[in-house]
Amino acid sequence: MANSVRGRLKPGEDYWVRYYLIVNTMENVLEKAKEYKEKADYGVLKFSEDTATLQPLYRKKLPDGIITLTRKGEREQNLYAAFTASRC
């Protein structure tokens, strides 16, 4: 499923996956799996960081040693979280 997308990604692209975990007896899991089969999906993300409604936050260490989060940061730092841009 998602592995087939991963092999076709260009640098800077990413993908999304929607899957479901069903926990129950085997009989009930098989029945529910039929229901969710068509709802599970995946695909390539079609927006850029600049146009997304969610923006990444990057960890940044300030000169005084305090660690904070910033919207635009050094790309090699870890992506830390996301927030809704409209709330900025």
User: Buried b vs exposed e over 47-65: b needs ≥16 C-beta within 10 Å?
Assistant: eeeeeeeeebbbeeeeeee
Neighbouring C-beta atoms of residue 38, cutoff 10 Å: 7
Question: What is the structure's pLDDT at 3?
Answer: 58
Helix (H, G, I), strand (E, B) or coil at 76: coil
Domain regions of the chain by residue span: 1-46, 48-88
- The pTM score is 0.44
Q: What is the pLDDT of residues 54-85, one digit of tens each?
A: 777 788 888 898 888 887 655 444 444 444 44
Question: What is the structure's pLDDT at 72?
Answer: 66
Q: Note whether 40 and 19 are within 8 A (CB).
A: yes
- 49's torsion region: left (phi>0), alpha (psi -120 to 50) or beta? alpha
Question: What is the structure's pLDDT at 28?
Answer: 94
Q: What is the pLDDT of residues 6-64, one digit of tens each?
A: 677 777 778 888 999 999 999 999 999 999 988 988 888 877 767 777 777 788 888 89
87 pLDDT band, cuts 50/70/90, is very low
